[in-house]
Structure 1
């Protein structure tokens, strides 16, 4: 097994999007379990889904900033915008969801969380 090649995403944006997708999947699974087996009702689901999207963009921005090594807020912010647009596009194509105040709020939260994560990621690399 010494000759097995290691696959590594070298692009900061690609690795950040992949990390954000993993965190989104984990958050969606936890929300589904809480909705099914917990005492959470469906009325509070939009707030918790916004928190999950923010956490996913934060983690993706962190990875993107750490990979880039410079301008973490820039790479994280762009990653947050790309993540938000991908989520909006998926929602539009899968559920015919339109653009409203909630979707624009999610886009703004994802961009801000991604930029913050990128700032943390750049500073984590130097230590």
Structure 2
């Protein structure tokens, strides 16, 4: 049996922003699942979903920014903000292609929330110890 030091490590994603987007999408899937379970098993109304979905996007962008900032090791606000913009544009493109959603004030709010949450997560992530 090989000692622990000789066991090869699994491959890591090289780009901090790409790793952050992957983690943000994982958090988005978990948040969407949580919202759907709350909608099904509680007496929550569908009218609350647009605001709660913005909160889920904010938390997802915050988590992605955290991972991006932590992996970059410097300029956390930059990497997190870049992640937030890319994440927001990706969500808008998916919404446009899948649900024929148009650009609106809500789209600008989504981009703003994703940018600010990602930048804040990047600032927190870059200041955590590895």
Task: Verify same fold: TM over 0.5.
Answer: yes
Matched, 1:79 2:80: no
Q: Which has the larger radius of gyration?
A: 2
Which blocks of at least 5 consecutive residues in structure 2 are unaligned?
Answer: none
> 2:30 and 2:80 mapped to 1: Cα distance?
20
Cα distance in 1 for partners of 2:87, 2:79 equals: 12
- Aligned runs of 1:1-80 on 2, under 5 Å? 6-80=10-84
**What's the CA shift for 1:117?**
0.1
Alignment of 1:94-109 (within 5 A): 94-109=98-113
Give the whole-Å Cα distance in 1 for the aligned partners of 2:77 and 2:8: 35
Alignment RMSD, CA only? 1.5
4+ residue runs over 3 A deviation: 1-5
Unaligned 5+ residue runs, structure 1?
none
Could you state the TM-score of these two structures normalised by the residue count of structure 2?
A: 0.92
Using structure 1 for the length normalisation, give the TM-score: 0.94
> How far off is 1:39 after superposition?
1.2
How many residues of Structure 1 are paired with residues of Structure 2 in the alignment? Answer: 126
